[in-house]
Amino acid sequence: MPETDPELPVLVSSGKRKFTCYPAAILVLIVNCEREFLLVSPGGAVDRWEVVSGAIEGTETLLDGARREIHEELGSRARVRILGTVNAQTFPYDQVIQNMISVTFLGHYQGGDISPGDDIRGYEYRWFGIDEILSGKVSVAVPEGQSWMFRRSLEMYDLWRDDPVDLQVTLT
C-alpha cells in the first residue's frame, strides 16, 4: 500500500483507516428547458465565460457545496435541481496544490430570478446553446478545453430531467 504524501493532511477514521485530504472543487453545468446552458462572466472587456463553480468547504458534502455555490452565484431565488454527476477528475492546480479533485454536477434550472451574489457582484449571466459552445464562439474558461462535458450534460439532462432520484442518502 502506498504511503500518503507527507505534505498533505491526513484524517484517520474510527476504524483506523487513513484518508489523505485533497483540495476539492465543484462545477455545476446548469441547463434550462430550452436545453441552453447558464454561464457567468466578469463582463467588461473580459470575454470569458464559466459555469457555476467553487471550492468545497471543510464540513460540506459535495452536493451541499454545489447547492451553496448555486445560491452564492445565482441568488436565493434561482431554483436549480441537481440531477447527477457528469464527471470527476483530478488535475494539477498550481505549485502548492499539486492535485485538485474536481466533481462536475448537472443542474436543471427550474425558474426564479437570477441575481449574482456578493462574491460575483457585477458579473453578467447569459444562456448559451450547445452549438455556440461547441463551435468555440463562446470563450469558456471553466471548464477550459472540455466542451465534451456540455454535450454529455445534454444527453444526461434528457435522461434524468424527470427522474426524482435522491442523490444524497444517509448511510446508517
C-alpha dihedral sign at 104, 50, 110, 60: positive
pLDDT band of residue 3 (cuts 50, 70, 90) is low
10 Å Cβ neighbour count for 103? 19
Q: Which three cell numbers stand for residue 62?
A: 459535495
Distance (Å) of CA 131 to CA 96, 118, 143? 37, 31, 16
Whether the CB-CB separation of 93 and 18 falls below 8 Å is answered with: no
Q: Taking 50 as the threshold, does the pLDDT of residue 2 lie above it?
A: no
28-68: pLDDT as tens digits: 999 999 999 999 998 766 788 999 999 999 889 999 999 99
Looking at the chain, the whole-number percentage of residues with pLDDT higher than 70 is: 91
Highest-pLDDT range among 4-18, 19-33, 146-160: 146-160
